Structure 1
Amino acid sequence: MPASDPLRAALPLLRPRLPRALLAITLGALSLGSALALAGVSAWLITRAWQMPPVLDLSVAVVAVRTFGISRGVLGYCERLVSHDTALRSAGNARTEIYRRLADGPVEVTARLHSGDLLARVGTDVDDLADVLVRAVVPFGVAAVLGVAATTVIALISPVASVVLAVCLIVAGVLAPWLSARAARAQEAVARQHRSDRDVAALTALDHAAELRVAGRLPELIADAERRQRTWAAAVDRAAAPAAAGAAVPTAAVGASVIGAVVVAIGIASSTAPTTLAVLMLLPLSAFEATGALPGAAVALTRARIAAGRLLELVSAENAPAHTATVIASPATTPRLRATRVSAGYPGGPAGPTVSVDLAPGSRLAVTGKSGAGKTALLMTLAGLLPAAAGTVSFDGIDCDELSESELRSAACYFAEDAHLFSTTVRDNLLVARGDCTDDELVHTLGVVGLGAWLSSLPDGLSTVLTGGAAAVSAGQRRRLLLARVLVCPAPIVLLDEPTEHLDAADSHRLLAALLDGTHGLLSPARTVVVATHQLGADIACPRLSVADDR
């Protein structure tokens, strides 16, 4: 495996236990070795019984047949337990490591991906990567051990037959997997993209079902998810069709090996015992039992390699910003936020209009514009979550690219319109913004955003579990809970994306006015507040930046 292979680079994520993997291979080899021995002993027993010897001459072989028949199933079951335990532990290790790296790494790595794509990567891709242990490593290891053992046994009877068997085993164990992997590789990347698109459409329908239903777009989105599912299934079928040739090669190799053994047996029949000839002709059938799984193992290896590449895009060290010793103002002091001729946009997508802002500590700014004009991308760029397509963003004169992730987050915090509510207590859903808040602070904050009566109606107050997260509250209550996070957040610069969406017009106007009031508003006059909205009333006095959709 070359050093540049993504699968090799991703193996540290799995942290597989080598002794367990070796134990799985050993048990698998013993299981199929029992099948090999069962075939040999059975061939001897059938041929010897045809000669009608005393029954006692067959007793040992009869017991051996029963032993190998039972041990094959028992050892195979043990191999499955060990290999699946190894794979599941490795998948857990991989997800833990990926979540840790995502939490500590640059936010823009995940901010540019849809939640459906993230789900596909940390879900299906991790499963595919962990499956390489069960579906590829163990089968290849078992096939190698069994192939050597079978060839050695046949060589004791006839070197010529062992050469024929070895060649056929190489064809079945190398050529067939190579053909299958080559066929799968051509289509798997396309199929994976279709599956990611399906997940994006499905999660959008789940997360925004109420709004989409009101807008009349939910059936259209569900139909789109179904279409993407069918497209993905068709791509998988196209990947499987060429692999059929690779799956047929082991069968052809078995036939060639058996024919070769028969020809050799005919040639040495005059000088070899009938029981030995029976073993020579029947043993190859069991020798190929391990190679039958290798085409599928090669496909699993290919899928794991593709999955490893996608996962490395998330957790690669290259994505981490270089840490510098630069220190900006502490959270107690608001830094000056300046954007110079910045054009914002998502990586790979169109860039928005060029804008420049200079926000002194305590400034208020309303970013307005139609939906899709680029307000969200602009706010994420100002927060350092997305790289600027053009221009620079700085805090107290220091380019945001020169700041570490922790320094950026201590200076500015972005609050998304669709921020997640966790299926945990009300208290914990607020403590994610600041972990040292007291219950009194949380109760006061909820009252400020208009959730005092709602909190009083909950059976356990702050300890009430929001089962299902956002599904446990209305759209308006969800918006107010997210706004409460803003109030308890310690960041001196806050950037809010549509903070009053789904509220009635009167409440929306009141809260927007309070957020943008730099003197007696909801947030301290020392903090800088940037709000993206398309509901700003004409009577709210604050600087405005209009983002026009000229892309």
Structure 2
Amino acid sequence: MSSPATARRGLRRPKTDEGPRARFSELLPYLLEHKRVLGFVVVLSVLGAAASLAQPLLVSQVIAVVESGRGVGSIVWVLVGLVVVSGLISGYQHYLLQRTGEGVVLSSRRRLVRRMLSLPISEFDTRRTGDLVSRVGSDTTLLRAVLTQGLVEAIGGSLTFVGALIAMLVIDPVLLGLTVLVVAASIVTVTLLSGRIRVASQQAQQKVGDLAASVERAISAVRTVRASNATEREVAAVERDAEGAWEMGIRVARISALVVPIAGIAMQVSFLVVLGVGGFRVASGAITIASLVAFILFLFMMIMPLGLAFGAINAVNQALGALGRIQEIVALPTESETDDPTRAAPAVETDDAVRFDDVEFAYPSAARRTEGEKLVVAELGAEAAPADDQVLRGVSFSVPRGARVALVGPSGAGKSTILALIERFYDPTAGVVRLGGVDVRALDRQELRAQIGYVEQDAPVLAGTLRQNLTLVRSDATDAECIEVLRAVNLGEVLDRDPAGLDAQVGEEGVMLSGGERQRLAIARALIAAPPILLLDESTSSLDGLNEQLLREAIDAVAEHRTLIVIAHRLSTVVDSDSIVVLDHGRVVGVGTHSELVASTPLYRDLAKHQLLV
């Protein structure tokens, strides 16, 4: 049976033209986390708007004074002071907005990562790692643009816009009427385009997620790709996704290109209209030259905030597209939120550490696909998936406290699934899994997993150091304890060959270690916590005879007075178990000791014969 992790990498989710769409109200909580700073920025915007609005009035007074032949006196110095104050306010406001924008990105990443790492395992079975990484990196970054590209500045600019509008109305209503017609046309155009920007931005971010997933897939399997002479095919696949992201980026740029120049065009047309009509009205004596100059300055002050508003609309629509992808994950229920303790069966008195009572289970179809099926799905789409089928069918067995029980059987029999159910990565579709007589669905997941040490089939090792791998499960482990457990699993050579000792790097996915060393490190990680129950899935499959014997001795030492459940294909490693459970096609076909099963269970007898144990 292929593991869910393998299924996750090989499966492409069905594509949709539009991703999840977010509303502006969903963006507000991210902004309101910084409401004090944003409130101060708004106050600065008001002060900046007041300083800006005062400047055309002072310029008008300077012109009037010069026309009358009097000295300008202190008016010029006041004007210079207002210009300097406006510049200082603008610079400090820009810094606060940049800092707050980074704060919004940080808080969104924290929220997303916390939710993402708390999702049920089944969610990771059907989602691509690269796409999830893209949501944390690329999508959250777009939220910064909401602040840094003009949203709050547009709020302050609206005050300048209204103030300029009032001043222009006082100076000359006729010129204002002509200006408003031009501005209104530009606003209508931007409004019509904003919805298209949001949709295009969503699709662009989805394409970026597809690209990240393709790159992650190729890099994580780069050795297999090279060995298969498939480099060019993988490059072509990544390039196709890169081209898809490029095409959607061009589409966003094309629509944005229609929005960006609108403010400039409105400015130029308004200026030409005001200059032409205003010049005629000055000649006719309707207004003075000073009034026309002031009107033109107010016109610039009115159009500039309009440009900020258009930029803000563009930025907000792109951010909402990205926020939709973020909210899709944030809205998913976590493991604990999917729990329903009312489904748990009543506790029973028992001496068993673990007990399965008539358990049935079926993986979601994506997690059950074989490699061949996954290739078909990648080519034809999700509708090509086979129907769900049962992995476990009426499984019942018990593991007494302190006993050593082995699970054996052919590949796909359901052995790894049994350990996944004990860990509550999934819940059974029928029947009961009990820990100490208590239905595991009635236990808090952290409390449950604190009692269990689990070594997975593919022995994952985290990028980082030896110490970081060991302290993952026990953060308070001392260096002495770490060294002791490493030597116990015969990893003393790894410690000795690197001067860094416990700080020796293991590389991405433990690439700097051999397969056997990775497996032993994963086992050491489980052993250092010394939990009452140990689950070992093919824990010695990558070891040679000497290291297998040394590891068995280490496990024997730590397993004393503890419950041990072991999956093994090599029966030589489990023949001395207290009990062996034989599985075939999701059913228990035999339970007993090695000698009992050789006599009573044909499947086990065949396995033993093939391994020369009979």
Asked whether the two chains share a fold, i.e. TM above 0.5, the reply is yes
Q: 2:488 aligns with which of 442, 448, 462?
A: 448
Q: 1:115 aligns with which of 129, 133, 145?
A: 129
Counterpart-to-counterpart distance in 1, 2:308 and 2:122:
41
Q: 1:527 aligns with which of 563, 587, 590?
A: 563
- Tell me, yes or no, if the aligned pair for 2:490 and 2:547 is still in contact at 8 Å: no
Specify the SS of the correspondent of 1:360: strand
1:247 equivalent to 2:260? Answer yes
Q: 1:22 aligns with which of 39, 48, 65?
A: 39
- Tell me, yes or no, if the aligned pair for 2:460 and 2:509 is still in contact at 8 Å: no
Q: Percent identity?
A: 21
Specify the SS of the correspondent of 1:363: strand
Structure 1 equivalent of residue 160 of structure 2:
146
Counterpart-to-counterpart distance in 2, 1:27 and 1:141:
11
Q: Which has the larger radius of gyration?
A: 2
1:311 equivalent to 2:349? Answer no
Amino acid paired to 2:361: V
Structure 2 equivalent of residue 395 of structure 1:
434
Q: 1:271 aligns with which of 286, 289, 301?
A: 286
Amino acid paired to 1:179: L
Q: 1:432 aligns with which of 451, 472, 493?
A: 472
Structure 2 equivalent of residue 186 of structure 1:
199
Structure 1 equivalent of residue 396 of structure 2:
358
Counterpart-to-counterpart distance in 2, 1:329 and 1:311:
43
1:226 equivalent to 2:239? Answer yes
1:457, distance to aligned residue in structure 2 (A)? 3.7
Amino acid paired to 2:206: Q
Structure 2 equivalent of residue 137 of structure 1:
151
Instruction: State which drifts further: 190-199 or 464-473.
Output: 464-473
CA pair 127-444 structure 1, distance change in 2 beyond 3 A: same
Amino acid paired to 1:198: L
CA pair 336-468 structure 1, distance change in 2 beyond 3 A: same
Instruction: State which drifts further: 472-481 or 229-238.
Output: 472-481
In the TM superposition, 1:156-175 aligns within 5 A as 156-165=170-179, 168-169=182-183, 172=186, 174-175=187-188
Counterpart-to-counterpart distance in 1, 2:317 and 2:533:
46
Counterpart-to-counterpart distance in 2, 1:279 and 1:480:
80
In the TM superposition, 1:309-388 aligns within 5 A as 309-316=324-331, 318-319=333-334, 320-322=337-339, 324=341, 334-337=353-356, 340-345=359-364, 346=366, 353-356=389-392, 357-361=395-399, 362-366=404-408, 369=411, 380=420, 383-386=423-426
Q: Gaps spanning 5+ residues in structure 1: where? A: none
Counterpart-to-counterpart distance in 1, 2:74 and 2:506:
64
1:213 equivalent to 2:255? Answer no
Q: Gaps spanning 5+ residues in structure 2: where? A: 1-20, 368-381, 587-614
Instruction: State which drifts further: 89-98 or 344-353.
Output: 344-353
1:77 equivalent to 2:94? Answer no
Matched residues, number: 528
Q: 1:298 aligns with which of 291, 295, 313?
A: 313
Q: 2:512 aligns with which of 469, 473, 481?
A: 473
Instruction: State which drifts further: 395-404 or 224-233.
Output: 395-404
- Tell me, yes or no, if the aligned pair for 2:408 and 2:415 is still in contact at 8 Å: no
1:89, distance to aligned residue in structure 2 (A)? 2.4
1:188, distance to aligned residue in structure 2 (A)? 2.3
Specify the SS of the correspondent of 2:499: coil
Amino acid paired to 2:493: A
CA pair 410-282 structure 1, distance change in 2 beyond 3 A: same
In the TM superposition, 1:397-546 aligns within 5 A as 403-410=443-450, 415-416=455-456, 417=458, 419-423=460-464, 425-462=465-502, 464=503, 466=505, 470=509, 473-476=512-515, 477-490=517-530, 499=539, 503=542, 506=545, 520=556, 523=559, 526-529=562-565, 531=567, 536-537=569-570, 539=572, 541=575, 543=581, 545=583
Counterpart-to-counterpart distance in 1, 2:34 and 2:174:
40
Structure 1 equivalent of residue 104 of structure 2:
90
Specify the SS of the correspondent of 1:354: coil
CA pair 338-452 structure 1, distance change in 2 beyond 3 A: farther
CA pair 380-123 structure 1, distance change in 2 beyond 3 A: farther
RMSD: 4.3
Counterpart-to-counterpart distance in 2, 1:544 and 1:514:
24
- Tell me, yes or no, if the aligned pair for 1:344 and 1:351 is still in contact at 8 Å: no
Counterpart-to-counterpart distance in 1, 2:341 and 2:174:
68
Amino acid paired to 2:293: A
1:482, distance to aligned residue in structure 2 (A)? 1.8
Instruction: State which drifts further: 155-164 or 446-455.
Output: 155-164
Counterpart-to-counterpart distance in 2, 1:444 and 1:126:
43
Specify the SS of the correspondent of 2:354: coil
